[in-house]
Amino acid sequence: MDPHTEFALFLRSRRERLSPEDSGLPPSTKRRRTPGLRREEVAQLAGVSVDYYVRLEQGRKLRPSPAVLEALARALQLEPDEYRHMVALLNQAPSAAPRPPQRVRPGVLRLLERLDPTPAFVLGRRMDVLAWNKMAAALLGDFGALPGSRRNMIWLLFLHPPSRSLYVNWAANARESIAHLRAASGRHPNDPGIAELVDELSAKSAEFREMWARRDVREKGHGRKVLNHPDVGRLELEYETLRLHDDDDQFLVTFTAEADSPSQAALDLLAVLARATTP
């Protein structure tokens, strides 16, 4: 999709989630035909003309100044990740040659091995699992048994029942993963791999279509996941994401549990089971 069109749709999606009360405006006495703020209300809050804001939402090829973008971010109450996404959409270079397949450096592969028994894996720009250690496979599923095109966290969440059943709060995890993919699509609007993934999931999953249309954005960082593992039961884990230095679209992800907790005991048991089944 053209970045200016995507920028326009993103503005509209952020406008529609706000109410006058959210923005400190007096409640409207007129019935609203559509959800959220009106365009003229956003223009007022941002200090721009209504005509200019309307043209932005029409996808016109305008170049808002940094000051205008910051004013729009305040008016629309954007989170930092959303603001960076908005700026990225307007600062795309002309399409370059197709990106080569992502490869994980040997040093990172050795690091994954050394991190065992801490579950760790490397994600690519479209949430592909590029490399993993034995504990990551024991925790999240045997990536090596899947075709390369199916080693993708979002595809697994929506179209692979064993992976879907792993997450206690599946919907929250699905929304979070889609927000990560949306952020990547803003950095790489012409990436055919991202487009192919979105097209396939949109065709096969109504849930994906609904969540993708929300245009939520979040960069991958840290958080908490609760899993219901078929072999060791419930695990409450913290994840951390580290961006690799030589490829801004490769991320090292680790899972840990609180010391001496039931979840750490479950991870220890899983490590024993993984060793017992490894040739």
3-state secondary structure of 243: strand
Q: Give the residue carrying structure tokens 């040739």.
A: 279
3-state secondary structure of 122: strand
The region, left, alpha or beta by phi > 0 then psi within -120 to 50, assigned to residue 47 is left
From the list 238, 234, 232, 233, the residue with the least C-alpha distance to 273 is 232
Cα torsion angle, 162, 165, 169, 171, sign: positive
pLDDT band at 97 (very low <50, low <70, confident <90, very high): low
What is the reported pLDDT for 94? 55
Q: What CATH number labels 106-277?
A: 3.30.450.180
- Min mean pLDDT across 92-96, 114-118, 137-141, 215-219 is at 92-96
Calculate the alpha carbon distances from 26 to 16, 22, 37, 186 in Å: 17, 10, 12, 34
Average pLDDT, the chain: 92
Could you read off the pLDDT of 54-78 as tens digits, one per residue? 999 999 999 999 999 999 999 999 9
> In the chain, where does the domain assigned CATH 3.30.450.180 lie?
106-277
3-state secondary structure of 242: strand
Mean pLDDT of the 16-45 span? 82
What is the reported pLDDT for 99? 74
pLDDT band at 91 (very low <50, low <70, confident <90, very high): confident
Could you read off the pLDDT of 251-269 as tens digits, one per residue? 999 999 999 999 999 999 9
What is the reported pLDDT for 236? 98
> In the chain, where does the domain assigned CATH 1.10.260.40 lie?
3-89
DSSP state of 68: H
* Structure-token pair, residue 263: 């979840």
Q: What percent of the chain has pLDDT over 70?
A: 95
Mean pLDDT of the 172-184 span? 95
Could you read off the pLDDT of 118-136 as tens digits, one per residue? 999 999 999 999 999 999 9
pLDDT band at 20 (very low <50, low <70, confident <90, very high): confident
pLDDT band at 112 (very low <50, low <70, confident <90, very high): very high
- Are the C-beta atoms of 253 and 122 separated by less than 8 Å? yes
Q: Is the pLDDT of residue 223 over 90?
A: yes
pLDDT band at 22 (very low <50, low <70, confident <90, very high): confident
Q: Is the pLDDT of residue 1 over 80?
A: no
- Are the C-beta atoms of 50 and 43 separated by less than 8 Å? yes
Cis amide linkage into residue 192, ω under 30° from 0: no
* Structure-token pair, residue 69: 């973008």
Higher-confidence residue of 4 and 100: namely 4
- Min mean pLDDT across 17-21, 83-87, 269-273 is at 17-21
What is the reported pLDDT for 98? 65
CATH class label, 3-89: mainly alpha
DSSP state of 190: T
Q: Give the residue carrying structure tokens 């979040």.
A: 218
